[in-house]
Amino acid sequence: MARRATLTRMAELPPPTLRLRLDAEALASNWRALDAMSGRAAAGAAVKADAYGLGVGNVMPVLRDAGAKDFFVAHWSEVPEVATHIPASQLSVLHGPIHSDDADYARQAGVRPVINSIEQAALWLKSGGGPCDLMIDTGINRLGIAMRQIHDATLAGLEVVTLMSHLASADEDSPLNAEQLARFKAAAAAIPAQRLSLANSAGIALGSDYAFDVTRPGLALYGGVPRAEMAGTIRQVAWPQAAIIQRRKLQAGDSVGYNATFTASEPMAAGVISLGYADGYLRCWSGKGALQSGEALLPLLGKVSMDMVVVDLSQAPHLREGDWVDVPYDLPASSRTSGLSQYELLTGLGKRFRR
């Protein structure tokens, strides 16, 4: 037993069969574009959920070097990795302190909690207070202080660095955008703060009225296009590839995969690809998706399995086991085809991709 464990540890892993290329130049270019679109406001960066699935370790140095100075995560558990790349004072934790342990941790780590309720404000003050951010709910009814609470005496004790709110429908031309803007201005008039922040990626495209001092793009940094105004400016950042792990010849009448949903009508070459729903390539791609090799399209045959898909190799008969194929990941197009949101497409990319 002991000997086997030692060998397993020492043996060098063979190359992976899934890889995710991050176009660092496109990522930096997207941040600069969003910073420019933010006008006089500084663009920050939402790096929650492992930088939307692309890997904090890869993304943080690029955003930092591009000039981002305000970073946002959701969970306390996300702090240690992100904080290895930047001064802790540049990091805000959106979920806020719900236990005194959270407040103690924020103070020790030097990161700012985003206070989301009167209870959290009291908790933060009781634990010693200090610089924090404050979230106002202006209409999404998720996290944040309600508008009827903005004059609460507890809030007056806070040392608010960034007063923020979050838009519910910035990716649409909804009257809710202007309503939230007006409420946010009213909150800003009532609560002293060093800086104001309202816009996420889509909010940046709503114009300078929405930019204030700091913007908080996430999706568009990573290649998502939440509004038409950003098409042509935002570049694809995530480029997944998967390897062929078997080639096979189908005969007329052979069916493929679970529940035999595809049956070959003539002899054809098929490739089994090391990519499945456990990797974030979900069942909804079955019957719609196609992988790619250069210009050649490799349509999916049958259902997506946990670890595999089978594709038609008719357009690329030269491909062999071990060859890489591209997983098309232009986010707006992939979203239309799959029915998944651009956010889900990014954050679903699994652990088995070498990033």
Ligand X SMILES: *Cc1c(COP(=O)(O)O)cnc(C)c1O
| Residues contributing to the site for ligand X (CB under 6 A) | 46, 48, 94, 166, 200-202, 216-219
Query: Which element (helix H / strand E) includes 279?
Result: none
In one letter, which amino acid is 311?
Answer: V
| Catalytic-residue membership of 210 | no
Q: CB-wise, 203 or 271, nearer to ligand X?
A: 203
Q: For residue 276, give the nearest of 257, 250, 255, 295 by alpha carbon.
A: 257
Find the shortest distance in angstroms from Cβ 248 to ligand X.
Answer: 41
Query: What minimum distance in Å lies between the beta carbon of 320 and ligand X?
Result: 39
Nearer to ligand X, 233 or 314 (CB): 233
Closest CB to ligand X among 225 and 275?
225
Name the residue nearer to ligand X (CB basis): 202 or 242: 202
SS3 302: coil
On the CB side of 280, CA atoms within 13 Å amount to 26
The nearest distance, CB 217 to ligand X, in angstroms, is 5
Q: Where are the beta strands (DSSP E) in the chain?
A: 18-22, 42-43, 45-46, 71-73, 91-93, 112-115, 131-137, 145-146, 159-165, 195-197, 214-215, 238-250, 255-256, 262-263, 268-273, 290-293, 296-301, 309-312, 324-326
Distance CA 109, CA 242 (A): 39
Catalytic residue among 126, 249, 258, 288: 258
Find the catalytic residue in 48, 277, 281, 329: 48
Rounded to a whole number of angstroms, the minimum distance from the CB of residue 58 to ligand X is 18
Query: 31-36: long-range contacts at Cβ-Cβ below 8 A with a sequence spacing of 24 or more?
Result: 31/62, 31/63, 31/66, 31/67, 31/68, 31/217, 31/221, 32/66, 32/67, 33/233, 33/234, 34/201, 34/204, 34/215, 34/217, 34/220, 34/221, 35/67, 35/68
- Alpha-carbon distance of 114 to 97, in angstroms, equals 8
Give the SS3 label for residue 318: coil
Nearer residue to ligand X within complex by CB, 133 or 312: 133
Nearest to 76, CA basis, from 91, 65, 61:
91
Task: Say if residues 321 and 274 touch (Cβ distance below 8 Å).
Answer: no
Q: Is 351 designated active site?
A: no
Which residues, other chains included, contact 134 with Cβ-Cβ below 8 Å and sequence gap of 6+? 114, 115, 121, 145, 155, 158, 160, 162, 163, 164, 191, 193
Minimum Å gap between C-beta 137 and ligand X is: 11
Shortest Cβ distance from residue 277 to ligand X (Å)? 23
The residue among 48 and 303 lying less far from ligand X, judged by its C-beta, is 48
Task: Determine the residue with CB nearest ligand X.
Answer: 218
Quick one: 218 or 280, whose CB is closer to ligand X?
218
Least distance in Å: CB of 201 to ligand X? Answer: 3
Residues designated as active site: 48, 258
